[in-house]
Amino acid sequence: MRDVAIIGVGMTKFGRLEGKDLMDLLAEASLNAMKDANVENKEIDAVYVGNMLSAAINHQTAIASSLVDRISIFPAAADKVENGPASGGSAVKNGFLAVASGVYDLVLVVGGEKMTSADTDVLTDYIATMTHPTAEYVHGITLPALAAMLMRIYMQRYGVTERHIAMVAVKNHKNGMKNPYAHIHREITIEGAMQSVMISDPLRLYYTCPISDGAAAVILCPADKAEEYRDKPVKIIGVGQATDVQCVHEREDPAVLKSCRIAAEKAYKMAGITPKDIDVAEVHDAFEILELVESEDVGLFEKGKAHLAVEKGVTEIDGEMPINPSGGLKARGHPVGATGVAQIVELVWQLRGEAGERQIKKDAKRALACNFGGFGNNTVIHILEAMWK
């Protein structure tokens, strides 16, 4: 297996992007990443497009072929990758495997979603179709309802208060203020968050991510060729993906994201490192409770202790273990198929020292991205390392 490097990253702004359709977004992010990698005049061997909802809400299928047409990278091999909210992470994993195997030398991975043109209740329903058809969906379950039930059981068990959940939201909004690509540029307070509208008790509006449009892209090549394209290449040193039973009620422990744990273990094993070697992480906070649970289940904090790290400012941009310096899904936004790629784009910027006002204070060498699909039954983890450090 060959080592694989990321030599280019790019994204669109995330948000309610009037006048731009799904293909506009995918093309823009792809061209930004190709430019960053200095491969505008090179032949791309393959493209993987992470997207969940194009058929359901954009009336468009086979979008990977459409993208090739838009950006003229014929005759590149082209596939769409769909894995719910982890479509982006799965697309990067497929790109990684393709380069690692030796089959392709230059691969474009782009994730994108155009969501704001759909009605919210229709969108919520499509997203809820990820759940078990007869044992969950039919009962009226939505993703916020599953997050709320996790939040209640987790808070009760570990003595976590609603205030802690609000603190995570406040931190992510603060980071998002410094990210020009973020959907939400608004500072919030703990009290404001705790008074926001109840979506699914105890889950409030400010503990959930927005509905966004956007796309993000990376360019991959064999690590030993990376410096032929540009300086500061970032190696993908670990990839892990794992699944769990679909129904939340059937999980061994409904307060634990087992797929997250196993995916992380696999990624650490491939990388030959432990959680202590991680300097910064982007985790999938579609709901703020998930930032706590995931950061524990990927091993960055002891189980039930992540809220104490939040209290002490450990997860802030200037803390010892910055989490979601981008603003996370909460503030950067969550164009579903784009998210897993955008996490990696952010971490590459952080490792290169190109994150502007939100640049983390510590000199980071290794970073972890956790992209979570379904309601935690399919998690994709990537571990990145700065090759020049």
Partner 1 sequence: MSKEQVVEKDFMVYRCKSCGRKFYPKHDRCPYCKATEFEEVKAGDTCTLITYTKLYVLPEGIEMPPLTLGIVDFGEGIRALGQIMTDDPKIGMKLKPVWGFLRKIGGEDYYGFKFKPIEE
CB-nearer residue toward partner 1: 18 or 119: 119
Tokens 């939400």 correspond to what residue?
A: 184
Work out whether 248 is an interface residue with partner 1 (CB under 8 A).
Answer: yes
Work out whether 19 is an interface residue with partner 1 (CB under 8 A).
Answer: no
**Closest to 211 measured CA to CA, from 151, 294, 131, 123:** 123
**Closest to 282 measured CA to CA, from 238, 239, 234, 315:** 315
Helix (H, G, I), strand (E, B) or coil at 60: coil
CB-nearer residue toward partner 1: 18 or 252: 252
- Mark the segment that binds partner 1 (CB under 8 A) among 161-169, 218-226, 240-248, 295-303: 240-248
Tokens 């090739």 correspond to what residue?
A: 68
Tokens 């709901």 correspond to what residue?
A: 287
The β-bridge relationship of strands 107-113 and 77-81 is: unpaired
Work out whether 144 is an interface residue with partner 1 (CB under 8 A).
Answer: yes
CB-nearer residue toward partner 1: 27 or 203: 203
Q: Within positions 268 to 287, which residues make up the interface with partner 1, using CB under 8 A?
A: none
Q: How far is the CB of 144 from partner 1 (least distance, A)?
A: 7
Q: What are phi and psi of 108, to 5 degrees?
A: -100, 130
List the structure tokens of 361: 């204070």
- Mark the segment that binds partner 1 (CB under 8 A) among 63-71, 123-131, 331-339, 343-351: 123-131
Work out whether 222 is an interface residue with partner 1 (CB under 8 A).
Answer: no
CA torsion 194-195-201-205 (nearest 10°) is -90
Residue from the set 250, 318, 320, 354 that interacts with partner 1 by CB under 8 A: 250
**Closest to 364 measured CA to CA, from 326, 324, 321, 304:** 321
Q: Within positions 154 to 183, which residues make up the interface with partner 1, using CB under 8 A?
A: 156
Q: Binders of partner 1: how many residues, by CB under 8 A?
A: 35
Work out whether 189 is an interface residue with partner 1 (CB under 8 A).
Answer: no
Q: Could you give the CA distance from residue 365 to residue 350 in angstroms, rounded to a whole number?
A: 9
Q: How far is the CB of 291 from partner 1 (least distance, A)?
A: 19
If phi over 0 gives left and psi between -120 and 50 gives alpha, with beta otherwise, what is residue 166?
A: alpha
- Mark the segment that binds partner 1 (CB under 8 A) among 223-231, 244-252, 283-291, 365-373: 244-252
Interface residues with partner 1 (CB under 8 A)? 121-122, 124-125, 128, 132, 134-136, 138-142, 144-145, 148-150, 152-153, 156, 197-203, 245, 247-250, 254
